[in-house]
Structure 1
Amino acid sequence: MGALVMWSYFERFGTARVSRYLNIDQSPVIHNQPDWQGGLFGDRQKERFAVFQEIVDRTLPYAQVEHFTHLPFSLKRRVTDVERLFSLLSVSRPRSKAVVQALTHQNDHKLAFYNHQTWQHKMRCLQAYLAIPYDFRAGIENVTIPVVNLIGGRSQLYDAKWQQQVTQMLPNATEIVLPRSGHAVPMDEPIDFHKVLKKFCENDLRVATKKRLSKVAFLGDAAKFKS
Structure 2
Amino acid sequence: MPRITSGDGVELHYLDEGSGPVTVLVHGYGAPAAGWAPQQSALVAAGRRVLAFDRRSHGESGNPAYGRRMARHGADLAEFLDALDVRDALLVGASMGANVIWAYIDLFGTGRVRGVVSVDQTPKMINTGDWSHGFYGLTPQNAGTFFDHGIPATGRGNPPYTEEIAALVAASPGPAPETRPLLRDHAFQDWRDVVERAEVPILFLAGRDSQFWPCGHASAAAALNPKATATVIDDCGHVVTSDQPERLSEELVAFAR
Q: TM-score of the superposition, structure 2-length normalised?
A: 0.52
The correspondence for 1:53, drawn from 126, 137, 145, is 145
Kindly indicate whether structure 1 or structure 2 has the higher relative contact order, using CA contacts under 8 Å at least 6 residues apart. 1
CA distance in 1, matches of 2:145, 2:234: 31
Aligned with 1:20: secondary structure? strand
CA distance in 2, matches of 1:55, 1:6: 22
CA offsets 1:139-173 (integer angstroms, 9 cap, x no match):
22221211121111222322122321111212212
CA distance in 2, matches of 1:181, 1:142: 30
Structure 1 pair 16–31 and aligned structure 2 pair: CA distance change class (3 A): same
Q: Which has the larger radius of gyration?
A: 1
Residue correspondences, number: 162
Equivalent residue, structure 2, for 1:152: 207
| Aligned-residue offset at 1:38 | 1.5
Asked whether the 8 Å contact 1:84–1:100 carries over to 2, the reply is no
CA distance in 1, matches of 2:186, 2:254: 33
Structure 1 pair 55–24 and aligned structure 2 pair: CA distance change class (3 A): closer
CA distance in 2, matches of 1:100, 1:32: 21
Structure 1 pair 10–93 and aligned structure 2 pair: CA distance change class (3 A): farther
Equivalent residue, structure 2, for 1:23: 118
Q: Does 1:120 align with 2:213?
A: no
Q: Does 1:8 align with 2:74?
A: no
| Aligned-residue offset at 1:102 | 6.0
CA RMSD of aligned residues (A): 3.3
Q: Does 1:177 align with 2:235?
A: no
Q: TM-score of the superposition, structure 1-length normalised?
A: 0.58
Aligned with 1:151: secondary structure? strand
CA distance in 2, matches of 1:93, 1:193: 20
Q: List, as ranges, runs of 4+ consecutive aligned residues in structure 1 with deviation greater than 4 Å.
A: 46-50, 96-106
CA distance in 2, matches of 1:47, 1:195: 37
| Aligned-residue offset at 1:184 | 1.6
Asked whether the 8 Å contact 2:115–2:202 carries over to 1, the reply is yes
User: How many percent identity over aligned positions?
Assistant: 26
| Aligned-residue offset at 1:20 | 1.2
Of Structure 1 and Structure 2, which has the larger fraction of its residues in strand?
Answer: 2
Of Structure 1 and Structure 2, which has the larger fraction of its residues in helix?
Answer: 1
CA distance in 1, matches of 2:252, 2:202: 12
